[in-house]
Structures are given as C-alpha cells and as structure tokens.
Amino acid sequence: MRIVIVTADTARAVGLRWVINHYFELEANVVAPIASVASEIDDSDTGATVYMVDADVWCSMADFFIPRRQRTIVIGTRAGMFSTVQSEGDMVEELRSRIDGMSAIAVEQSLPGLSHREVEVLRHIALGHLNKEIADALGISINTVLSHRKNITAKLGIRSASGLSVYAMMNGYLSPVEIQ
C-alpha cells in the first residue's frame, strides 16, 4: 500500500509522512495541491493507493477524488474527517483503523465491474435519458439498451433510475459539471 499526502500545509504533510513511515512502515509521498497534481497522481494511481487530503483540496479536485472516495482520508475538523488535532496515540490508532479498512478495500473489490458499454448506458440513465434516446445516442437497439439496463441492475443491485444516478455520481461516472 502506498499513501499520497496532498495538503498545502507543509508541516502537516511532513508530520503525517513521519507518522506513517515510523508507525506503519508504509511508503508515503507528499504532493503539492496544484492544478496539475491530478495528472501527476493519476499516472501512479492503483487500487492500493490511499490518499490523505485536506478538505479544501478534496473539494477543489472533487472530479479526481470522488471515484477514489473509498481510498481517500479527508483531513479536517468536521465529523467523519481525520483530525490531526489530537494526541499522537489517538491519531495513530485512528489512522491504523482507517488504513486497515482501506487495505481490505484495496484487496477486495465488492462490486463486479461494468463493461464500457454498460458505463455508457449508465451515464445516459443518470442524465435522465429515455431508453429510445439512449439507443439513438449509442446507435444500438432499444432491446440492447434494455439488456444493458438489466445487466447493470443485476451487477449493482440497484433498480431505480434515481439510485443508478446516485451510483454514477458517487463513483465518478459523471462529473458535477455534466449534471448541471
């Protein structure tokens, strides 16, 4: 497992890297949160890469982090975020718990993957298109669209169009810009 720390606070980044190296003996890299960082990170992204990011960095790079949300630890002071304002022992224990949980995610993917065509159909469903509109846009028959919808719902266990839309947004198949 590899941890990438993305924060504008250099002292926080250095401290987190030391804690991770010292207590967990894991590789930790620090990346500056600039616009081009997504391509730099994306080039080395694997299922075993965990990200630790400031809340403001997560928000500014949401298109990158939403698909990786199960492998992302958001640093901040709100509920559910990883706080660096706590004792060293508490911080190490919380980090251990989060890293252990992410190790399980990296090793085992809980849902089967969708094919490229199923992702295209899912995107159209999430955008509110009707079966005929999807068929016309993709150059396939309505029966093929229905088959893809059936396969998608079987793989994901989600039956409603609204549920599929939420799934598509939360897993990065749609960016917030496309939805508007």
Homologous superfamily (CATH) of 2-107 is Response regulator (3.40.50.2300)
For range 2-6, the mean pLDDT: 89
Say if strands 72-75 and 49-54 run parallel, antiparallel, or are unpaired: parallel
For residue range 18-37, what is the model confidence (pLDDT) as tens digits?
999 999 888 888 887 655 56
What are the sequence ranges of the domains in the chain?
A: 2-107, 116-179
What fold does the segment set 116-179 form as a domain? Arc Repressor Mutant, subunit A (1.10.10)
Residue 104's closest CA among 63, 48, 154?
48
For residue range 52-108, what is the model confidence (pLDDT) as tens digits?
999 888 888 877 787 788 889 999 988 889 998 999 999 999 999 988 877 655 544
Q: What is the pTM of this model?
A: 0.58
pLDDT at residue 171 greater than cutoff 70: yes
